[in-house]
């Protein structure tokens, strides 16, 4: 199908689904429950970092993700920073991650004064390529003094951070077995993947620590917010301590035993989160229906609609299509945005950002191809 015909057809069908107003990429859905919970929270005076709704929110997150512990935070970025810091990532370290991600994934590594190493992604899901990970670890590292050292820089490979792109689960079993074999601690950046499954398991079960975001554009929102989940009681306690300015428990004394962070989620935000969690199943079903509509729309069109890989369930947080050429992508972006249908290119690859230009990068060209041809399309639930 000609790109002009396909774009017109897309605009027609997306308008039929969402209506004639401006169509955003992803908007939150609120109704009376959110208002009621927020009013109740204000009435209680517990709007800040203490409050029983924070505990309830964390308990529900444990339930949904089948995790033993969850610590809510002010953002997904703060959650990532805490996870890396809790593993002791520091200035003589490097952290393996993927080239295609939101900038927060790599920023959090830099907040620890460590250097990201960017690996290319695999084509089906746009997530970290396990073959490249093994290749890098086999050829470029060795065990030294109990840690895994990068032979060319002499630095310690302190962690690997995998991100589930647009909600599509990464190849975690393969990645976990490689990380276990090479003794690399594994973190999942599941900012986009609440409600995504690998087999019967919620994402996050293959790593030491998993982080989520509840920013306004995510599948559920707390306004701003995030969380870290883990099954490890010591790491859970460490995260809680670091997020709470490293204050030691005492009835009235202020004593902090190291430099900590004020990263706790305020109760007001947790109230919003509790109301949103009531709708999570609805959002997931609604998004699955929309993904099916898009799948049919783009069938035999020449453009590829991203679907969940076999054996996995994506939350279809943000839908994506890939064209054959960058010219087609550009045409589609320009026409849809001109017509009030918000579409966006994928993120500039992290190693192309000026502050990460110094980082080591392993390319296969897959991430470039995704960047050149892929567009995110409206994905809000209705
Ligand atoms: C992959 C990824 N990591 C981290 C974040 C950071 O989350 P936040 O915006 O809540 O800080 C986001 C989203 O914003 C994201 O998409």
Model pLDDT for residues 100-134, shown as the tens digit of each residue:
999 999 999 999 999 999 999 999 999 999 999 99
Same domain, 20 and 66: no
When pLDDT is cut at 50, 70 and 90, the band that residue 340 belongs to is very high
75 lines ligand 1 (CB under 6 A): yes
The reply to whether 112 falls in a domain is yes
pLDDT at 145 over 90: no
Same domain, 79 and 204: yes
- Predicted local confidence at residue 338, as pLDDT: 98
- Predicted local confidence at residue 148, as pLDDT: 95
Quick check: 17 and 346 in contact, CB under 8 A? no
- The minimum-distance atom of ligand 1 relative to the CA of 225 is 10
pLDDT mean over 255-270: 98
**Cα angle 117-122-127, degrees, rounded to a multiple of 5:** 65
> For 38-48, what is each residue's pLDDT tens digit?
999 999 999 99
Quick check: 64 and 202 in contact, CB under 8 A? yes
Residue 88 sits at φ, ψ, to 5 deg, of 85, 20
Residue 117 sits at φ, ψ, to 5 deg, of -115, 125
Distance in angstroms (rounded) separating the CA atoms of residues 94 and 326:
33
When divided into structural domains, the chain yields a total of 2
- The minimum-distance atom of ligand 1 relative to the CA of 213 is 10
374 lines ligand 1 (CB under 6 A): no
> For 155-209, what is each residue's pLDDT tens digit?
999 999 999 999 999 999 999 999 999 999 999 999 999 999 999 999 999 999 9
Same domain, 14 and 67: no
- Predicted local confidence at residue 61, as pLDDT: 98
- The minimum-distance atom of ligand 1 relative to the CA of 101 is 1
Test site for ligand 1: of 74, 101, 161, 215, most ligand atoms within 8 A of the Cβ: 215
CATH number of 334's domain: 3.90.1150.10
The reply to whether 382 falls in a domain is no
Strand partners, 121: 128
Same domain, 266 and 136: yes
pLDDT at 88 over 90: yes
**Cα angle 52-194-368, degrees, rounded to a multiple of 5:** 140
Alpha helices per DSSP H over the chain: 3-18, 32-44, 52-65, 76-86, 103-111, 130-140, 172-181, 233-243, 267-277, 280-298, 326-338, 366-373
Distance in angstroms (rounded) separating the CA atoms of residues 233 and 194:
22
Same domain, 66 and 127: yes
Q: How many CA atoms lie within 13 A of 196 on its CB side?
A: 34
191 lines ligand 1 (CB under 6 A): yes
pLDDT at 373 over 90: yes
Q: How many CB atoms neighbour CB 332 within 10 A?
A: 24
pLDDT mean over 311-318: 98
For residue 342, give its domain range.
Answer: 3-26+279-351+359-377
- The minimum-distance atom of ligand 1 relative to the CA of 163 is 1
When pLDDT is cut at 50, 70 and 90, the band that residue 146 belongs to is confident
Same domain, 249 and 371: no
- Predicted local confidence at residue 49, as pLDDT: 85
When pLDDT is cut at 50, 70 and 90, the band that residue 296 belongs to is very high
| CA 71 to ligand 1 centroid distance, Å | 16
Same domain, 230 and 338: no
pLDDT at 289 over 90: yes
pLDDT at 280 over 90: yes
Quick check: 306 and 71 in contact, CB under 8 A? no
Mapping DSSP to helix (H, G, I), strand (E, B) and coil, where does residue 221 land? coil
The residue count of the chain comes to 382
**Average pLDDT, rounded, for the chain:** 97
CATH number of 75's domain: 3.40.640.10
> For 221-254, what is each residue's pLDDT tens digit?
999 999 999 999 999 999 999 999 999 999 999 9
Same domain, 250 and 320: no
Same domain, 92 and 11: no
- Predicted local confidence at residue 50, as pLDDT: 85
């Amino acid at each position: 199908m000609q790109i002009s015909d396909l774009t017109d057809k897309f605009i027609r069908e997306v308008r039929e689904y969402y209506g004639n107003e401006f169509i955003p990429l992803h908007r939150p859905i609120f109704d009376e429950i959110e208002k009621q919970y927020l009013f109740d929270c204000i009435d209680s005076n517990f709007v800040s970092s203490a409050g029983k709704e924070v505990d309830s929110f964390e308990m529900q997150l444990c339930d949904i993700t089948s995790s033993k512990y969850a610590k809510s935070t002010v953002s997904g970025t703060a959650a990532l920073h805490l996870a890396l810091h809790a593993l002791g990532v520091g200035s003589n370290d490097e952290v393996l991650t993927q080239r295609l991600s939101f900038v927060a994934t790599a920023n959090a590594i830099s907040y620890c004064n460590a250097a990201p190493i960017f690996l290319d992604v695999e084509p089906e899901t746009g997530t970290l390529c396990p073959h490249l990970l093994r290749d890098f670890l086999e050829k470029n590292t060795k065990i030294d003094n109990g840690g895994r050292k990068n032979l060319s820089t002499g630095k310690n490979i302190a962690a690997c951070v995998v991100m589930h792109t647009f909600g599509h689960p990464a190849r975690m079993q393969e990645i976990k077995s490689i990380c276990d074999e090479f003794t690399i601690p594994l973190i999942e950046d599941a900012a986009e993947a609440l409600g995504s499954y690998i087999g019967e398991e919620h994402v996050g079960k293959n790593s030491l620590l998993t982080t989520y975001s509840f920013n306004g554009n995510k599948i559920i929102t707390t306004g701003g917010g995030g969380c870290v989940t883990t099954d490890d009681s010591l790491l859970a306690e460490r995260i809680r301590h670091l997020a709470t300015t490293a204050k030691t428990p005492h009835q009235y004394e202020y004593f902090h035993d190291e430099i900590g962070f004020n990263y706790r989620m305020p109760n007001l935000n947790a109230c919003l989160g509790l109301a949103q969690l009531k709708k999570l199943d609805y959002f997931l079903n609604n998004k699955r229906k929309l993904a099916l509509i898009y799948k049919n729309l783009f069938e035999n069109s020449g453009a590829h609609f991203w679907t969940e890989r076999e054996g996995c369930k994506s939350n279809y947080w943000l839908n994506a299509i890939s064209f054959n050429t960058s010219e087609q992508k550009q045409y589609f972006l320009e026409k849809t945005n001109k017509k009030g249908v918000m579409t966006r290119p994928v993120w500039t690859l992290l190693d192309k950002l000026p502050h990460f230009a110094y980082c080591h990068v392993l390319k296969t060209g897959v991430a470039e191809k995704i960047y050149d041809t892929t567009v995110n399309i409206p994905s809000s639930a209705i």
